[in-house]
Structure 1
Amino acid sequence: MKKKIIIVIIILFICLSGGLYLFGEITGNQNIATKCVEKINTMRFDQKLEKNVKAVENNKKPSVPKLSEMEVVDVMHKMANTKVIADKKWGFVKITKERIKNLKTIVSESNYKEKEKLLEILNKWEEGNFSEADKDHNFLWDKLGGTVGKAKGVLKEEQN
């Protein structure tokens, strides 16, 4: 019985993935599946972030693994993608006050190698200062080993 359920789930996943792909081909929007996956990944990251923040605030060990420096750099890079001009961008995460606050809490309590630089960027963003978002992006992009998609400038407010 369990094997049948697993097989049905796999078949449904394949059909859903194929349907999203075909929908993208028909409508000319191949990024729909990518956007769905990105949204799910952002939700998972936010849940993990919130659990880590609650643990820090309660001076307890998190119930989920601590966020690695690369996880934080990756989400900050995706946040920076919303503010910069670049030929290619992979992933977008909306910049919110709550996300910035939570990231600052985690980074402040960390021993990350780039702790000071990450806090400097988050402090600017918290103040609504994105005038150096391209430099911030390129720092984060470089930490991720970026080779394509270097920021060439900052989007104007109306472009965001």
Structure 2
Amino acid sequence: MKKFRAAGSIIGILACIVGVYFYLSDDGGLKLSLKKNDPVSTKEAETKIEKSFETPVSSKVTADYETMNDEELIQEVHNMSHQKVEADKKWGSSEITADKVQKLYEVIKNKDFKKRSNKQMLLDILEPWTKKDFTNSVSAHNRVWSHQKGNIGKATRLLTPQEELEYIEKEFR
């Protein structure tokens, strides 16, 4: 019986210590259990995204673009746009790199498409990307999404640099 009383006393003391901690801490003590990695600054996220963009890609990956049909090329651009935009649902992902953007642009520019408008849509999307300008990513995603008759997952905004970096790390690292 004495063992149970001693155990009960120890548990009671520990409960009091925990209670005092929660009472005195500004956040209710939740930081201890919920804290993940420290968030990166916008500048740090932008630097890491730039480094990711400049990462060389195997010529095998980009050589595959030459054998893709029109719809596969459209899907590749759609998958790449997911890295840059917020949408309720995203199916498919392909990392955006300088090598891939340049190769896609060249392949599309030199390919005969069944529909000239599809070729022009992709060139309009990719041309700014070849200059590291992704400000068109929401409209790019939604043009492709509409072309594919999407009804779930419309892009609503650009991701913040921190959100994009998180997406890159989750999907590609």
Partner of 1:153: 157
- Secondary structure, counterpart of 1:135 in structure 2: helix
What is the Cα deviation at residue 94 of structure 1?
0.3
| TM-superposed deviation, 1:49 | 4.2
Shift of 1:131: 1.2
The CA deviation string for residues 3-50 of structure 1, in whole angstroms up to 9 with x for no partner, is xxxxxxxxxxxxxxxxxxxxxxxxxxxxxxxxxxxxxxxxxxx74741
Structure-2 residue corresponding to 1:34: none
Distance 1:88 1:49, change over 3 A: same
- Residues 70 and 144 in structure 1, CA contact (< 8 A), matched pair in contact too: no
For the residue of structure 1 that corresponds to 2:155, the secondary structure is: coil
Q: What is the correspondence of 1:48-87 to structure 2 with a 5 Å cutoff? A: 49-50=62-63, 53=66, 66-87=67-88
CA distance in 1, matches of 2:88, 2:64: 35
**Structure 2: distance between partners of 1:52 and 1:131:** 24
- Deviation, 1:51, is 5.3
The residue correspondences of 1:10-21 to structure 2 (distance < 5 A) are none
Structure 1 moving runs of 4+ over 6 Å = none
* CA deviations over 1:103-122 (Å, ceiling 9, x no partner): 11110111222112211211
Q: Is the 8 A contact 1:132 1:154 kept in 2?
A: no
Partner of 1:93: 94
In 2, Cα distance between the equivalents of 1:146 and 1:74? 12
Q: What displacement does 1:85 show? A: 0.7
Unaligned stretches of 5+ in structure 2?
1-58, 165-173
From 118, 124, 127, the equivalent of 1:123 is 127
State how many pairs are aligned.
Answer: 103
- For the residue of structure 2 that corresponds to 1:152, the secondary structure is strand
- Aligned-pair CA distance for 1:144: 1.9
* Structure 2 residue 148 is matched with structure 1 residue 144: yes
How much has 1:90 moved relative to structure 2?
Answer: 0.7
Structure 1 stretches lacking a partner, 5+ long: 1-45, 54-65
Q: Distance in 2 between matches of 1:128 and 1:49?
A: 18
Distance 1:82 1:104 in 2: 18
- Contact 1:81–1:92 at 8 Å: present in 2 too? yes
TM-score (norm 2): 0.55
Aligned-pair distance for 1:52?
5.8
1:127 aligned counterpart, secondary structure: coil
Return the TM-score normalized by structure 1: 0.59
Please report how far the alpha carbon of residue 71 of structure 1 lies from its aligned counterpart in structure 2 after TM superposition. Answer: 0.3
Larger Rg: 2
Residue 10 (structure 1) aligns with: none
